[in-house]
Structure 1
Amino acid sequence: MERQLLIKEERKEFVISELIYFEVTKLADGRQLYEASLAELELLHIREKIKLARKVTVEQII
């Protein structure tokens, strides 16, 4: 059980660092990233990656 909590916290820290890389520092409702649940952070992370992927052109891929 304790190991699972550690893994969850490590994942949360990783996702927060990724979001900061994407220049996201708060949630839409104004809360700080560390106040969000892992599920909320994961969803936000996915949305930010989608935004980034939409900016990539075919020429950049080839």
Structure 2
Amino acid sequence: MLNQAIQMRKNYLIDQLIEAGYTKMVDGRQLYELTLTELEEVYRNVLE
């Protein structure tokens, strides 16, 4: 159940970042390759 919640949060963050035009990291990694913690940090930096 926890894994499902984590994946749902990751999907939400990825969707929000893509809508904002952010599709991959400067190091070339795609958003789906990031951990939840990394996605949260990118989300804060890009959208807040």
TM-score, reference length from structure 1? 0.74
- Partners of 2:40 and 2:25 lie apart in 1 by 12
Give ranges in structure 1 of 5+ residues lacking alignment.
Answer: 51-62
TM-score, reference length from structure 2? 0.93
Identity rate, percent: 38
Structure 1 stretches of 4+ moved >4 Å: none
- Partners of 2:41 and 2:35 lie apart in 1 by 10
- Count of residues in correspondence between the two structures: 48
RMSD: 0.7
